[in-house]
Structure 1
Amino acid sequence: MNSTYEECIKACLECMESCNMCFDACLKEEDVKMMAYCIRLDRECADICSFAAKAMQSNSPFAKQICQLCADICEACGNECKKHEHHEHCRKCAEACFRCAEACRKMVA
């Protein structure tokens, strides 16, 4: 496996996990309606992170484009989660998203 991808794959998998945990925790919040966009982005972000990790692991010729999109989605998800920082799961998820966006951008550069 390409070692330049290793750090990025790790960040993607950690972000995917955070998004899945945040998604699940958001569904248990009192005001689920208020969390709807956060839940939606958690799903999108977990999916693209999983896909990006797979693309890098298989050395896809499209890995860079996929990681560029992953960075954009991670950033959007991070910004949304940041609005709900009073929930610990959102705060942790935002951190993971921003870390992943940075790792993806570094990989693409």
Structure 2
Amino acid sequence: MEQQHHHQELIQTLLDCVLACENCATACLHEEMVKEMAGCIMLDRDCGDICSQAARLLQRNSAIAHQYLVICEEICRMCAEECGKHDAEHCQLCAEACTRCAEACHAHHEPVTQD
């Protein structure tokens, strides 16, 4: 139980990123030039899904949770870079949330290994 408490801040950061990505993707779908936002929407969806799974793995103390954070950090950095290219407030907020999440994942992940 103590392990879960240790991860609560990271789990919350992951969930905040999920919500920012969902908000961004939804808002992008309502942009006038939605086709130009396709890459952003796709990365938002991938990032949200991966962060959501990472939060679940940490919550259940999965044996691979800390390794999974390597992938989570990568998608968060990709999404932050793409969202950062757009001036829309929802994109900028998403880029900030993704950057925070990438840094948090980086601080907690372990190298991917196979036994």
**TM range, smaller chain:** over 0.9
Name stretches of at least 5 consecutive residues in structure 2 with no aligned partner: 111-115
Which of the numbers 56, 70, 85 marks the counterpart of 2:72? 70
Q: 2:27 is aligned with what amino acid?
A: A
TM-score in terms of structure 2 length: 0.91
1:102 aligns with 2:103: yes
Which residue matches 1:30? 32
Give the aligned residue type for 1:70. Answer: C
Question: In the aligned structure 2, how far is the partner of 1:18 from the partner of 1:9?
Answer: 14
Alpha-carbon distance in structure 1 between the residues aligned to 2:33 and 2:100: 28
The runs of at least 4 consecutive aligned structure 1 residues that moved more than 3 Å come to: none
Q: Which runs of 5+ in 1 are unaligned?
A: none
Q: Which has the larger radius of gyration?
A: 2
- Retained in 2: the 8 A contact 1:7–1:103? no
Q: Which amino acid aligns with 1:38?
A: C
Identity level (%): 51
Q: Which residue of 1 aligns with 2:94?
A: 93
Is the 2:68–2:109 Cα contact (8 Å) retained in structure 1? no
Q: Which letter maps to 1:101?
A: A
RMSD over aligned Cα atoms: 1.0
Number of residue-to-residue matches in the alignment: 108
Q: Give the Cα separation in 1 of the matches to 2:72 and 2:65.
A: 10
Listed as ranges, the matches of 1:7-46 within 5 Å are 7-46=9-48
Q: Alpha-carbon deviation of 1:51? A: 0.1
**Per-residue deviation, 1:4:** 3.2
The residue number in structure 2 matching 1:57 is 59
- Give TM-score scaled by structure 1 length: 0.95
